[in-house]
Amino acid sequence: MRADASFAVPVKLWALLCVFAGVTIGGNVLLTCILTGGALLYLVLQRNFRLAASYGCFYLLLALLLYGIRFHGLHMPIFSEFYVLMFWNLSPIFLVSWDLITTPPGMLSAFLSRLRMPTSFILGLLVVFRFFPTMRTELKGVGRSMKNRGLTAAGQLLAHPVQSMEYVLVPFLLRVLQLADQLSVSAVARGAERPGVRGSYYEKRIGARDHIAAAVCAIVTASYLVLERSMA
């Protein structure tokens, strides 16, 4: 369902460029909530409700922490004020970047192939984009396996920390090697070594909805910059 509702790759890149320009050029901490609100709306329009809701709650927590730091002198020994401010300012970039990274690889490769990018560049970029989501999935699998075997108890972890780390790293590294082999075979089977522009089942053309989304991204960023300059 999400693939049908998602915007085309050029729109995702344009949205990332807009929020990056807004965060880089603008300097008003409070007004960055405009960009973050636009990024959350951007996710909702693509039916990515789970990420929008979870990060929205996290963003509200950041707002409360900033309020406490600014007006009540709140100091936190673990999660310092610097990190609170960093996450607050960079939230729109985090949201739009994550949406781009989690785009189906077929859509990304089809777009880059139309730009006549080298095959080596396309494959390398896809591996980088899919690295963190894939590793997160594999770590969850290792964690479930350890839990089923009773290896995640607090006593086990405290009494045998090195052994517990070995229980995680060994299957995780073996799985990474298996994924690398599968990726190589999959790339060859899909004609990665074939020269020329390749088609894709996931190719998505830019429609009216995408043009509207790109225009809204530009309007939100421009409004933020104009308002920020007027208040400076």
- Full pLDDT tens readout for the chain, 232 residues: 344 678 988 999 999 999 999 999 987 888 899 999 999 999 999 999 999 999 999 999 999 988 888 887 777 777 778 888 889 999 999 999 999 888 887 788 778 877 777 777 777 777 777 777 778 788 888 888 888 877 777 777 777 778 888 888 888 888 888 877 777 777 666 666 666 555 566 666 788 899 999 999 999 999 999 998 888 6
- Which pairs from 227-230 meet CB under 8 Å and 24+ separation? 227/31, 227/34, 228/26, 228/27, 228/28, 228/31
Output b/e per residue, 68-102; b: 16+ Cβ within 10 A: ebeeeeeeeeeeeeeebeebbbbbbbebbbbbbee
pLDDT of residue 1: 37
Q: What is the pTM of this model?
A: 0.72
pLDDT of residue 39: 94
In the block, which residue shows the tokens 């607050």?
A: 88
Distance CA 50, CA 27 (A): 29
Instruction: Give the containing element (helix H, strand E) for 124.
Output: helix 119-148
- pLDDT tens column, 145-182: 888 877 777 777 777 778 888 888 888 888 888 877 77
Distance CA 137, CA 197 (A): 32
pLDDT of residue 60: 94
Distance CA 63, CA 68 (A): 9
The gap between the terminal CA atoms of the chain, to the nearest Å, is 43
pLDDT of residue 197: 57
pLDDT of residue 40: 94
pLDDT of residue 200: 61
Instruction: Give the containing element (helix H, strand E) for 39.
Output: helix 32-45
pLDDT of residue 190: 64
Six-digit token string for 177: 């090697």
Residues 129, 214, 227: CA angle, nearest 5 degrees: 105
Please give the radius of gyration of the chain, using alpha carbons only, rounded to the nearest integer.
22
